[in-house]
Structure 1
Protein backbone atom coordinates (compact mmCIF):
# COMPACT_ATOMS: atom_id res chain seq x y z
CA UNK A 1 0.00 0.00 0.00
CA UNK A 2 1.38 3.40 -0.99
CA UNK A 3 1.79 5.80 1.94
CA UNK A 4 0.24 9.14 0.91
CA UNK A 5 0.24 10.94 4.27
CA UNK A 6 0.97 14.29 2.60
CA UNK A 7 -1.91 14.14 0.13
CA UNK A 8 -3.35 17.63 -0.38
CA UNK A 9 -0.36 19.36 1.20
CA UNK A 10 2.36 21.49 -0.34
CA UNK A 11 6.08 21.09 0.36
CA UNK A 12 8.82 23.61 -0.48
CA UNK A 13 12.38 22.26 -0.84
CA UNK A 14 15.46 24.43 -1.34
CA UNK A 15 18.60 23.29 -3.10
CA UNK A 16 16.32 20.79 -4.82
CA UNK A 17 18.10 20.28 -8.14
CA UNK A 18 20.42 17.51 -6.95
CA UNK A 19 21.73 15.50 -4.01
CA UNK A 20 19.84 15.59 -0.73
CA UNK A 21 17.37 18.22 -1.95
CA UNK A 22 16.32 16.13 -4.94
CA UNK A 23 15.96 13.06 -2.73
CA UNK A 24 13.77 15.01 -0.30
CA UNK A 25 11.62 16.29 -3.15
CA UNK A 26 11.12 12.76 -4.50
CA UNK A 27 10.22 11.35 -1.08
CA UNK A 28 7.75 14.12 -0.32
CA UNK A 29 6.13 13.85 -3.73
CA UNK A 30 5.84 10.08 -3.29
CA UNK A 31 4.05 10.77 0.00
CA UNK A 32 1.47 12.83 -1.88
CA UNK A 33 2.76 16.37 -1.49
CA UNK A 34 2.64 18.96 -4.23
CA UNK A 35 6.25 20.09 -4.40
CA UNK A 36 7.78 23.49 -5.08
CA UNK A 37 11.48 23.22 -5.83
CA UNK A 38 13.92 26.10 -5.36
CA UNK A 39 17.40 26.16 -6.88
CA UNK A 40 19.64 28.38 -8.98
CA UNK A 41 20.43 25.51 -11.40
CA UNK A 42 17.62 26.29 -13.81
CA UNK A 43 17.72 23.34 -16.18
CA UNK A 44 18.12 20.71 -13.46
CA UNK A 45 15.44 22.08 -11.15
CA UNK A 46 12.92 22.47 -13.98
CA UNK A 47 13.59 18.93 -15.17
CA UNK A 48 12.99 17.50 -11.69
CA UNK A 49 9.87 19.63 -11.18
CA UNK A 50 8.45 18.31 -14.45
CA UNK A 51 9.27 14.73 -13.41
CA UNK A 52 7.45 15.15 -10.08
CA UNK A 53 4.55 17.21 -11.39
CA UNK A 54 5.67 20.12 -9.25
CA UNK A 55 6.76 23.71 -9.74
CA UNK A 56 10.26 25.12 -10.08
CA UNK A 57 11.41 28.48 -8.75
CA UNK A 58 14.80 29.57 -10.05
CA UNK A 59 16.43 31.70 -7.36
CA UNK A 60 19.81 32.47 -5.86
CA UNK A 61 19.11 32.11 -2.14
CA UNK A 62 22.43 33.70 -1.22
CA UNK A 63 21.11 37.05 -2.53
CA UNK A 64 19.31 37.69 0.72
CA UNK A 65 18.84 41.40 0.05
CA UNK A 66 16.50 40.55 -2.82
CA UNK A 67 15.05 37.39 -1.29
CA UNK A 68 12.04 38.79 0.64
CA UNK A 69 10.60 40.30 -2.54
CA UNK A 70 11.30 37.10 -4.49
CA UNK A 71 9.59 34.99 -1.85
CA UNK A 72 6.55 37.25 -1.79
CA UNK A 73 6.16 36.93 -5.57
CA UNK A 74 6.77 33.17 -5.66
CA UNK A 75 3.73 32.14 -3.58
CA UNK A 76 5.54 29.74 -1.26
CA UNK A 77 2.73 29.24 1.24
CA UNK A 78 3.20 25.63 2.32
CA UNK A 79 2.65 22.92 4.89
CA UNK A 80 6.25 21.63 4.80
CA UNK A 81 9.45 23.63 4.37
CA UNK A 82 12.76 21.84 3.84
CA UNK A 83 15.74 24.18 4.19
CA UNK A 84 18.47 22.27 2.39
CA UNK A 85 20.49 24.57 0.11
CA UNK A 86 24.18 24.72 0.97
CA UNK A 87 27.74 24.89 -0.26
CA UNK A 88 31.11 23.92 1.16
CA UNK A 89 34.54 25.55 1.20
CA UNK A 90 37.63 23.93 2.71
CA UNK A 91 40.44 26.18 3.93
CA UNK A 92 42.26 27.18 7.09
CA UNK A 93 40.83 30.18 8.91
CA UNK A 94 43.79 32.39 7.97
CA UNK A 95 43.24 31.51 4.30
CA UNK A 96 39.44 31.52 4.32
CA UNK A 97 38.08 34.28 2.03
CA UNK A 98 35.82 36.59 4.06
CA UNK A 99 33.47 36.96 1.11
CA UNK A 100 33.04 33.16 1.02
CA UNK A 101 32.22 33.12 4.73
CA UNK A 102 29.61 35.82 4.17
CA UNK A 103 28.05 33.95 1.24
CA UNK A 104 27.82 30.69 3.17
CA UNK A 105 26.22 32.31 6.22
CA UNK A 106 23.71 34.06 3.98
CA UNK A 107 22.83 30.88 2.14
CA UNK A 108 22.75 28.44 5.04
CA UNK A 109 21.50 30.59 7.93
CA UNK A 110 20.00 33.89 6.79
CA UNK A 111 18.03 32.36 3.89
CA UNK A 112 16.46 29.66 6.11
CA UNK A 113 15.42 32.42 8.52
CA UNK A 114 13.84 34.43 5.70
CA UNK A 115 12.06 31.37 4.30
CA UNK A 116 10.73 30.46 7.74
CA UNK A 117 9.61 34.04 8.26
CA UNK A 118 7.71 33.90 4.96
CA UNK A 119 5.87 30.60 5.54
CA UNK A 120 5.16 30.61 9.27
CA UNK A 121 2.14 32.97 9.19
CA UNK A 122 0.26 30.60 6.87
CA UNK A 123 1.21 27.59 8.96
CA UNK A 124 0.03 29.32 12.13
CA UNK A 125 -3.26 30.27 10.47
CA UNK A 126 -3.92 26.64 9.50
CA UNK A 127 -2.66 25.30 12.83
CA UNK A 128 -0.12 22.92 11.31
CA UNK A 129 3.28 22.92 9.69
CA UNK A 130 6.62 21.17 9.49
CA UNK A 131 9.95 22.96 9.18
CA UNK A 132 12.79 20.54 8.50
CA UNK A 133 16.29 21.89 8.18
CA UNK A 134 19.07 19.83 6.64
CA UNK A 135 21.89 20.40 9.06
CA UNK A 136 24.91 18.24 9.60
CA UNK A 137 26.91 16.44 12.24
CA UNK A 138 28.89 19.68 11.94
CA UNK A 139 26.06 21.36 13.80
CA UNK A 140 27.21 19.28 16.80
CA UNK A 141 30.88 18.66 16.11
CA UNK A 142 33.59 20.77 14.49
CA UNK A 143 36.16 19.80 11.88
CA UNK A 144 39.22 21.77 10.83
CA UNK A 145 39.16 23.79 7.61
CA UNK A 146 35.37 24.30 7.65
CA UNK A 147 34.86 27.48 9.66
CA UNK A 148 31.89 28.82 7.70
CA UNK A 149 30.10 25.51 7.33
CA UNK A 150 30.45 24.61 11.02
CA UNK A 151 29.35 28.09 12.09
CA UNK A 152 26.31 28.05 9.79
CA UNK A 153 25.18 24.59 10.88
CA UNK A 154 25.57 25.46 14.57
CA UNK A 155 23.50 28.58 13.94
CA UNK A 156 20.83 26.56 12.15
CA UNK A 157 20.41 24.45 15.29
CA UNK A 158 19.68 27.58 17.31
CA UNK A 159 17.25 28.94 14.72
CA UNK A 160 15.35 25.66 14.64
CA UNK A 161 15.06 25.49 18.43
CA UNK A 162 13.70 29.03 18.57
CA UNK A 163 11.08 28.28 15.92
CA UNK A 164 10.13 25.12 17.82
CA UNK A 165 9.50 27.08 21.02
CA UNK A 166 7.50 29.75 19.23
CA UNK A 167 5.42 27.32 17.18
CA UNK A 168 4.85 24.50 19.64
CA UNK A 169 1.40 25.65 20.76
CA UNK A 170 0.36 26.49 17.19
CA UNK A 171 0.82 23.09 15.58
CA UNK A 172 4.19 23.83 13.96
CA UNK A 173 7.30 21.74 14.52
CA UNK A 174 10.94 22.45 13.67
CA UNK A 175 13.59 19.73 13.45
CA UNK A 176 17.17 19.57 12.14
CA UNK A 177 18.23 16.43 10.27
CA UNK A 178 21.96 15.97 10.75
CA UNK A 179 23.68 13.58 8.35
CA UNK A 180 27.33 12.71 8.36
CA UNK A 181 28.90 12.53 4.92
CA UNK A 182 26.42 11.84 2.13
CA UNK A 183 27.19 10.70 -1.41
CA UNK A 184 26.57 14.08 -3.07
CA UNK A 185 28.46 16.44 -5.39
CA UNK A 186 29.15 18.67 -2.35
CA UNK A 187 31.06 15.89 -0.59
CA UNK A 188 32.81 14.60 -3.69
CA UNK A 189 34.00 18.11 -4.56
CA UNK A 190 35.89 18.55 -1.27
CA UNK A 191 38.14 15.51 -1.56
CA UNK A 192 40.90 17.35 -3.43
CA UNK A 193 40.78 20.28 -0.99
CA UNK A 194 40.96 17.92 1.99
CA UNK A 195 43.97 16.20 0.43
CA UNK A 196 45.66 19.56 -0.01
CA UNK A 197 45.05 20.72 3.57
CA UNK A 198 45.75 17.40 5.34
CA UNK A 199 48.49 15.94 3.15
CA UNK A 200 46.48 12.70 2.83
CA UNK A 201 46.44 11.24 -0.71
CA UNK A 202 43.13 11.79 -2.50
CA UNK A 203 42.43 8.07 -2.72
CA UNK A 204 42.67 7.85 1.10
CA UNK A 205 40.68 10.98 2.03
CA UNK A 206 37.32 9.20 2.22
CA UNK A 207 38.52 6.52 4.65
CA UNK A 208 41.23 8.38 6.57
CA UNK A 209 39.62 11.84 6.85
CA UNK A 210 35.90 11.97 6.08
CA UNK A 211 34.89 8.66 7.69
CA UNK A 212 37.62 8.53 10.30
CA UNK A 213 35.35 9.43 13.24
CA UNK A 214 32.32 7.38 12.18
CA UNK A 215 31.56 3.88 13.46
CA UNK A 216 29.72 3.05 10.23
CA UNK A 217 32.36 3.35 7.52
CA UNK A 218 30.30 4.33 4.52
CA UNK A 219 28.73 7.35 2.92
CA UNK A 220 25.01 7.83 3.42
CA UNK A 221 22.86 7.77 0.33
CA UNK A 222 20.71 10.87 -0.34
CA UNK A 223 17.59 8.68 -0.33
CA UNK A 224 18.18 7.80 3.33
CA UNK A 225 17.94 11.47 4.24
CA UNK A 226 14.95 12.00 1.96
CA UNK A 227 13.01 9.17 3.56
CA UNK A 228 13.80 10.50 7.03
CA UNK A 229 12.45 13.92 6.05
CA UNK A 230 9.23 12.36 4.75
CA UNK A 231 8.83 10.38 7.98
CA UNK A 232 9.18 13.56 10.05
CA UNK A 233 6.08 14.85 8.25
CA UNK A 234 3.97 11.92 9.50
CA UNK A 235 1.42 12.41 12.31
CA UNK A 236 3.50 10.10 14.51
CA UNK A 237 6.31 12.67 14.48
CA UNK A 238 4.17 15.53 15.78
CA UNK A 239 6.00 15.63 19.13
CA UNK A 240 9.44 15.78 17.53
CA UNK A 241 10.38 19.43 17.66
CA UNK A 242 13.29 21.53 18.85
CA UNK A 243 15.57 18.55 18.41
CA UNK A 244 18.02 16.99 15.96
CA UNK A 245 17.91 13.69 14.13
CA UNK A 246 21.52 12.55 13.91
CA UNK A 247 22.39 10.33 10.95
CA UNK A 248 26.11 10.46 11.50
CA UNK A 249 27.11 6.81 11.61
CA UNK A 250 28.05 7.08 15.27
CA UNK A 251 30.42 10.06 14.93
CA UNK A 252 28.75 12.02 17.75
CA UNK A 253 28.92 8.99 20.07
CA UNK A 254 32.59 9.75 20.63
Structure 2
Protein backbone atom coordinates (compact mmCIF):
# COMPACT_ATOMS: atom_id res chain seq x y z
CA UNK A 1 0.00 0.00 0.00
CA UNK A 2 1.42 3.36 -0.99
CA UNK A 3 1.92 5.56 2.09
CA UNK A 4 0.10 8.85 2.07
CA UNK A 5 1.99 12.00 2.81
CA UNK A 6 0.49 15.38 3.56
CA UNK A 7 0.98 17.99 0.87
CA UNK A 8 3.20 20.94 1.74
CA UNK A 9 1.34 23.69 3.57
CA UNK A 10 0.25 26.40 1.15
CA UNK A 11 1.42 29.95 1.64
CA UNK A 12 -0.99 31.92 3.78
CA UNK A 13 -3.45 33.74 1.53
CA UNK A 14 -5.79 36.19 3.25
CA UNK A 15 -6.76 38.06 0.10
CA UNK A 16 -10.27 39.41 0.48
CA UNK A 17 -10.18 39.01 4.26
CA UNK A 18 -10.37 41.83 6.79
CA UNK A 19 -8.24 41.53 9.90
CA UNK A 20 -8.24 43.67 13.02
CA UNK A 21 -5.12 43.86 15.18
CA UNK A 22 -5.15 45.72 18.50
CA UNK A 23 -2.04 47.34 19.92
CA UNK A 24 -0.74 47.51 16.36
CA UNK A 25 1.55 50.53 16.66
CA UNK A 26 4.52 48.58 17.98
CA UNK A 27 5.96 45.29 19.17
CA UNK A 28 3.95 42.13 18.55
CA UNK A 29 0.95 44.01 17.17
CA UNK A 30 3.03 45.77 14.55
CA UNK A 31 4.63 42.50 13.49
CA UNK A 32 1.21 40.82 13.25
CA UNK A 33 -0.29 43.65 11.21
CA UNK A 34 2.58 43.53 8.72
CA UNK A 35 2.48 39.70 8.52
CA UNK A 36 -1.25 39.61 7.80
CA UNK A 37 -0.95 42.43 5.26
CA UNK A 38 1.86 40.47 3.60
CA UNK A 39 -0.65 37.63 3.27
CA UNK A 40 -3.04 39.94 1.45
CA UNK A 41 -5.38 40.95 4.24
CA UNK A 42 -6.95 44.35 4.65
CA UNK A 43 -5.73 45.10 8.17
CA UNK A 44 -7.46 47.45 10.55
CA UNK A 45 -4.58 48.47 12.79
CA UNK A 46 -5.88 50.01 16.00
CA UNK A 47 -3.92 51.71 18.77
CA UNK A 48 -3.90 54.97 20.69
CA UNK A 49 -0.37 55.78 19.46
CA UNK A 50 -0.91 57.93 16.36
CA UNK A 51 2.78 58.28 15.49
CA UNK A 52 3.35 54.54 15.78
CA UNK A 53 0.38 53.87 13.52
CA UNK A 54 1.76 56.31 10.94
CA UNK A 55 5.10 54.48 10.94
CA UNK A 56 3.28 51.17 10.57
CA UNK A 57 1.31 52.40 7.57
CA UNK A 58 4.53 53.59 5.92
CA UNK A 59 6.17 50.20 6.48
CA UNK A 60 3.18 48.42 4.94
CA UNK A 61 3.42 50.29 1.66
CA UNK A 62 3.92 47.85 -1.20
CA UNK A 63 2.60 44.78 0.62
CA UNK A 64 -0.09 42.66 -1.09
CA UNK A 65 -2.63 43.74 1.51
CA UNK A 66 -3.33 47.09 3.11
CA UNK A 67 -3.04 48.64 6.56
CA UNK A 68 -5.72 51.07 7.67
CA UNK A 69 -4.62 52.92 10.81
CA UNK A 70 -7.36 53.68 13.31
CA UNK A 71 -6.96 55.52 16.61
CA UNK A 72 -8.77 53.61 19.34
CA UNK A 73 -8.58 53.62 23.13
CA UNK A 74 -9.71 50.18 24.26
CA UNK A 75 -11.08 51.54 27.51
CA UNK A 76 -13.89 52.83 25.29
CA UNK A 77 -15.55 49.43 25.18
CA UNK A 78 -18.46 50.45 22.95
CA UNK A 79 -16.06 51.82 20.34
CA UNK A 80 -14.00 48.64 20.56
CA UNK A 81 -17.00 46.46 19.85
CA UNK A 82 -18.04 48.60 16.91
CA UNK A 83 -14.51 48.54 15.47
CA UNK A 84 -14.62 44.74 15.23
CA UNK A 85 -17.79 44.60 13.10
CA UNK A 86 -17.19 42.94 9.74
CA UNK A 87 -13.82 41.41 10.55
CA UNK A 88 -12.78 37.93 9.43
CA UNK A 89 -9.64 37.74 11.57
CA UNK A 90 -9.35 39.24 15.04
CA UNK A 91 -6.01 39.49 16.83
CA UNK A 92 -6.42 40.61 20.45
CA UNK A 93 -2.92 41.81 21.25
CA UNK A 94 -3.04 45.12 23.13
CA UNK A 95 -1.64 45.04 26.64
CA UNK A 96 -0.06 47.00 29.43
CA UNK A 97 2.01 46.08 32.44
CA UNK A 98 2.55 47.24 36.02
CA UNK A 99 5.12 45.60 38.29
CA UNK A 100 4.23 46.11 41.94
CA UNK A 101 3.57 44.04 45.08
CA UNK A 102 -0.09 43.26 45.73
CA UNK A 103 -0.26 45.41 48.84
CA UNK A 104 0.97 48.42 46.85
CA UNK A 105 -0.79 47.73 43.55
CA UNK A 106 -2.99 50.73 42.62
CA UNK A 107 -6.62 49.59 42.29
CA UNK A 108 -7.25 51.97 39.39
CA UNK A 109 -4.34 50.47 37.44
CA UNK A 110 -5.62 46.95 38.18
CA UNK A 111 -9.01 47.97 36.80
CA UNK A 112 -7.48 49.50 33.66
CA UNK A 113 -5.35 46.43 32.95
CA UNK A 114 -8.36 44.12 33.24
CA UNK A 115 -10.43 46.45 31.05
CA UNK A 116 -7.90 46.63 28.22
CA UNK A 117 -6.68 43.04 28.35
CA UNK A 118 -9.83 41.07 29.17
CA UNK A 119 -13.04 43.08 28.90
CA UNK A 120 -12.01 44.75 25.63
CA UNK A 121 -11.18 41.37 23.98
CA UNK A 122 -14.63 40.15 25.04
CA UNK A 123 -16.25 43.17 23.42
CA UNK A 124 -14.13 42.82 20.28
CA UNK A 125 -15.04 39.14 19.95
CA UNK A 126 -18.68 40.04 20.53
CA UNK A 127 -18.48 42.60 17.76
CA UNK A 128 -16.73 40.28 15.31
CA UNK A 129 -18.78 37.10 15.73
CA UNK A 130 -21.98 38.05 13.85
CA UNK A 131 -20.04 38.54 10.60
CA UNK A 132 -17.90 35.46 11.19
CA UNK A 133 -20.94 33.31 11.93
CA UNK A 134 -22.78 34.70 8.94
CA UNK A 135 -20.08 33.59 6.51
CA UNK A 136 -19.18 30.36 8.30
CA UNK A 137 -15.51 31.27 8.77
CA UNK A 138 -13.46 33.24 11.25
CA UNK A 139 -10.18 33.29 13.13
CA UNK A 140 -9.74 34.68 16.63
CA UNK A 141 -6.18 34.78 17.93
CA UNK A 142 -5.60 36.05 21.44
CA UNK A 143 -2.05 37.05 22.23
CA UNK A 144 -1.76 35.67 25.72
CA UNK A 145 1.52 34.93 27.47
CA UNK A 146 3.35 32.31 29.44
CA UNK A 147 1.71 34.29 32.25
CA UNK A 148 -1.61 32.94 31.02
CA UNK A 149 -0.33 29.55 32.20
CA UNK A 150 2.13 30.46 34.95
CA UNK A 151 2.14 33.22 37.56
CA UNK A 152 4.96 35.56 38.49
CA UNK A 153 5.26 37.72 41.56
CA UNK A 154 4.44 41.44 41.35
CA UNK A 155 2.24 41.09 38.23
CA UNK A 156 -1.19 40.49 39.74
CA UNK A 157 -3.21 42.41 37.15
CA UNK A 158 -1.34 41.10 34.10
CA UNK A 159 -1.44 37.48 35.29
CA UNK A 160 -5.13 37.73 36.20
CA UNK A 161 -5.97 39.26 32.80
CA UNK A 162 -4.02 36.64 30.84
CA UNK A 163 -5.54 33.76 32.80
CA UNK A 164 -8.97 35.22 32.11
CA UNK A 165 -8.15 35.60 28.42
CA UNK A 166 -7.34 31.89 28.24
CA UNK A 167 -10.81 31.05 29.53
CA UNK A 168 -12.50 33.54 27.23
CA UNK A 169 -10.65 32.09 24.25
CA UNK A 170 -11.72 28.54 25.08
CA UNK A 171 -15.34 29.57 25.48
CA UNK A 172 -15.24 31.32 22.10
CA UNK A 173 -13.77 28.15 20.59
CA UNK A 174 -16.59 25.98 21.90
CA UNK A 175 -19.30 28.36 20.74
CA UNK A 176 -17.63 29.14 17.42
CA UNK A 177 -16.86 25.59 16.31
CA UNK A 178 -20.27 24.89 14.72
CA UNK A 179 -19.88 28.13 12.73
CA UNK A 180 -16.39 27.55 11.30
CA UNK A 181 -14.76 29.95 13.76
CA UNK A 182 -11.60 29.01 15.64
CA UNK A 183 -10.27 30.71 18.75
CA UNK A 184 -6.80 30.15 20.15
CA UNK A 185 -4.14 31.77 22.28
CA UNK A 186 -0.50 32.35 21.46
CA UNK A 187 1.65 32.27 24.57
CA UNK A 188 5.11 33.80 24.29
CA UNK A 189 7.57 34.33 27.09
CA UNK A 190 9.40 37.66 27.15
CA UNK A 191 9.39 39.31 23.73
CA UNK A 192 11.76 42.02 22.56
CA UNK A 193 9.22 44.85 22.75
CA UNK A 194 8.97 48.29 24.40
CA UNK A 195 6.54 46.76 26.93
CA UNK A 196 9.28 44.41 28.14
CA UNK A 197 12.03 47.02 28.02
CA UNK A 198 9.95 49.34 30.20
CA UNK A 199 9.77 46.63 32.87
CA UNK A 200 13.48 46.50 33.59
CA UNK A 201 13.62 49.30 36.13
CA UNK A 202 10.40 48.21 37.86
CA UNK A 203 11.58 44.61 38.06
CA UNK A 204 14.90 45.74 39.51
CA UNK A 205 13.13 47.68 42.26
CA UNK A 206 10.65 44.89 43.01
CA UNK A 207 13.35 42.21 43.24
CA UNK A 208 15.99 44.39 44.85
CA UNK A 209 18.66 43.83 42.21
CA UNK A 210 20.51 46.08 39.74
CA UNK A 211 18.70 46.70 36.45
CA UNK A 212 21.44 45.03 34.41
CA UNK A 213 20.75 41.72 36.20
CA UNK A 214 17.00 41.65 35.50
CA UNK A 215 17.18 39.99 32.08
CA UNK A 216 19.25 37.00 33.21
CA UNK A 217 18.00 36.59 36.76
CA UNK A 218 14.29 37.37 36.33
CA UNK A 219 13.08 37.36 32.73
CA UNK A 220 15.14 34.46 31.38
CA UNK A 221 15.58 32.54 34.62
CA UNK A 222 12.94 29.90 33.87
CA UNK A 223 13.47 29.70 30.12
CA UNK A 224 15.65 26.90 28.72
CA UNK A 225 16.33 29.06 25.66
CA UNK A 226 18.22 32.04 27.03
CA UNK A 227 17.08 34.83 24.75
CA UNK A 228 14.14 37.11 24.14
CA UNK A 229 11.62 36.15 21.46
CA UNK A 230 11.41 38.41 18.42
CA UNK A 231 8.00 39.92 17.58
CA UNK A 232 8.17 38.39 14.10
CA UNK A 233 8.34 34.91 15.63
CA UNK A 234 5.09 35.53 17.47
CA UNK A 235 3.53 36.94 14.29
CA UNK A 236 4.36 33.71 12.44
CA UNK A 237 2.53 31.71 15.09
CA UNK A 238 -0.47 34.01 14.70
CA UNK A 239 -0.32 33.58 10.92
CA UNK A 240 -0.22 29.79 11.27
CA UNK A 241 -3.45 29.82 13.28
CA UNK A 242 -5.13 31.81 10.48
CA UNK A 243 -4.17 29.32 7.77
CA UNK A 244 -6.15 26.44 6.25
CA UNK A 245 -4.04 23.76 7.91
CA UNK A 246 -5.06 25.09 11.33
CA UNK A 247 -8.81 24.68 10.83
CA UNK A 248 -8.87 21.84 13.40
CA UNK A 249 -6.78 23.79 15.93
CA UNK A 250 -9.12 25.53 18.33
CA UNK A 251 -9.53 26.08 22.04
CA UNK A 252 -5.85 25.65 22.73
CA UNK A 253 -2.70 27.60 23.51
CA UNK A 254 0.31 27.69 21.19
CA UNK A 255 3.18 28.05 23.66
CA UNK A 256 6.35 29.90 22.66
CA UNK A 257 8.11 30.02 25.99
CA UNK A 258 11.53 28.52 25.33
CA UNK A 259 10.79 25.63 27.67
CA UNK A 260 9.58 27.73 30.62
CA UNK A 261 6.43 25.64 31.20
CA UNK A 262 8.38 22.38 30.85
CA UNK A 263 9.53 22.77 34.47
Same fold (TM over 0.5): yes
- Determine if the alignment matches structure 1 residue 182 to structure 2 residue 194: no
Match of 1:61 among 66, 74, 84: 74
Q: Which 5+ residue runs of structure 2 have no aligned equivalent? A: 1-9, 61-65
1:151-230 mapped onto 2 (5 Å cutoff): 151-230=160-239
Q: SS where residue 81 of structure 1 aligns?
A: strand
* TM-score of the superposed pair, with normalisation by structure 1: 0.95
- Determine if the alignment matches structure 1 residue 7 to structure 2 residue 15: yes
- Determine if the alignment matches structure 1 residue 244 to structure 2 residue 253: yes
Cα pair distance change 1:129/1:75, threshold 3 Å: closer
Report what 2:148 is aligned to.
139
Checking the alignment, whether the CA contact within 8 Å between 1:62 and 1:104 is kept in structure 2 is no
Residues matched between the structures, number: 249
1:29-40 mapped onto 2 (5 Å cutoff): 29-40=37-48
Report what 2:27 is aligned to.
19
- Alpha-carbon separation, structure 1, partners of 2:165 and 2:16: 29
- Alpha-carbon separation, structure 2, partners of 1:61 and 1:110: 9
Report what 2:117 is aligned to.
108
CA deviations over 1:165-196 (Å, ceiling 9, x no partner): 00011100000000000000000100111110
Cα pair distance change 1:5/1:208, threshold 3 Å: same
Q: SS where residue 223 of structure 2 aligns?
A: coil
- Alpha-carbon separation, structure 2, partners of 1:61 and 1:8: 26
Report what 1:94 is aligned to.
103
Match of 2:49 among 30, 38, 41: 41
Report what 2:63 is aligned to.
none
* TM-score of the superposed pair, with normalisation by structure 2: 0.92
Q: SS where residue 54 of structure 1 aligns?
A: strand
- Alpha-carbon separation, structure 2, partners of 1:75 and 1:116: 7
- Alpha-carbon separation, structure 1, partners of 2:120 and 2:84: 16
CA deviations over 1:140-185 (Å, ceiling 9, x no partner): 0000000000000000000000000000111000000000000000
Q: Which 5+ residue runs of structure 1 have no aligned equivalent? A: none
TM-aligned CA deviation for residue 50 of structure 1: 4.5
List, as ranges, runs of 4+ consecutive aligned residues in structure 1 with deviation greater than 2 Å.
49-53, 69-72
